[in-house]
């Protein structure tokens, strides 16, 4: 055990110097917390347009036909961009200390955690760092998946349930596992019949 790290005189509180901990950011988050609790979290499920409006008022860029369910946790809506016809299920955690950019017709299933922030454990005080996450169009992130900071999920990609995504995933692939890996090509079957 490294005694120096546990000596009270050597602890540096670097963690609390990042922009996420600035006074302005803390005030915005406090106001968002009240709005989230009173106007968002307990709103009826079907009124997606209301929740989209609340998110826009707090700086989120929200497209048309977006369904963000009331039990989605959002750390900072001003760091969130969601394109048209995307659905984000109850129980999803959008830990948006950095930017989270979500494409069109994306499904993010229950219990998934999209995490842009972490800590540098190689330094005293575990300073915070953030890396943006980008999720392409037509992606499905299945239940209880974890997306690490800095990851890019390619267009059309499917992330299997309970996957832990540590690195970028390619377009139009089925990917799964801990750590998540591409398994096979995703092919779409057209069920529409021409009359």
Residue pair 87/42 in contact (Cβ under 8 Å)? The answer is no
Number of other CB atoms surrounding residue 168 within 10 Å: 12
Q: How far apart are CA 63 and CA 177, in angstroms?
A: 31
Please give the domain boundaries of the chain with CATH numbers for all domains: 13-183 (2.160.10.10)
CA pair distance 17, 29, nearest whole angstrom: 16
Q: What is the pLDDT of residue 18?
A: 53
What's the rounded Cα separation, in Å, for the pair 42 and 130?
30
Identify the active-site residue in 48, 67, 113, 119. 119
* pLDDT for the residue numbered 20: 60
- 113 included as an active-site residue: no
Which pLDDT belongs to residue 19? 58
- Print pLDDT tens along the chain (195 aa): 444 444 444 344 445 555 566 788 889 999 999 999 999 999 999 999 999 999 999 999 999 999 999 999 999 999 999 999 999 999 999 999 999 999 999 999 999 999 999 998 898 888 889 999 999 999 999 999 999 999 999 999 999 999 999 999 999 999 999 999 999 999 988 755 554
Residue 27: HSE in the Cβ half-sphere, 13 Å Cα cutoff: 3
Confidence (pLDDT) at 23: 80
């Amino acid at each position: 055990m490294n005694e120096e790290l546990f000596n009270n005189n050597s602890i540096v509180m670097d963690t609390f110097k990042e922009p996420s901990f600035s006074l302005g950011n803390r005030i915005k988050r406090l106001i968002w917390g009240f709005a989230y609790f009173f106007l968002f979290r307990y709103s009826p499920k079907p009124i997606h347009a209301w929740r989209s409006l609340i998110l826009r008022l707090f700086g989120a860029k929200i497209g048309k036909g977006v369904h963000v369910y009331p039990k989605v946790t959002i750390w900072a809506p001003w760091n969130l961009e969601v394109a048209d016809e995307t659905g984000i299920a109850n129980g999803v955690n959008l830990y948006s200390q950095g930017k989270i950019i979500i494409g069109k017709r994306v499904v993010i299933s229950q219990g998934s955690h999209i995490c842009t922030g972490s800590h540098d454990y190689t330094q005293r005080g575990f300073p915070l760092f953030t890396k943006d996450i980008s999720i392409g169009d037509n992606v499905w992130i299945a239940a209880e998946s974890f997306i690490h900071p800095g990851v890019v999920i390619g267009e059309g990609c499917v992330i299997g349930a309970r996957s832990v995504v540590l690195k970028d995933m390619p377009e139009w692939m089925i990917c799964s596992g801990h750590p998540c890996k591409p398994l096979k090509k995703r092919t779409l079957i057209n069920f529409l019949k021409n009359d």
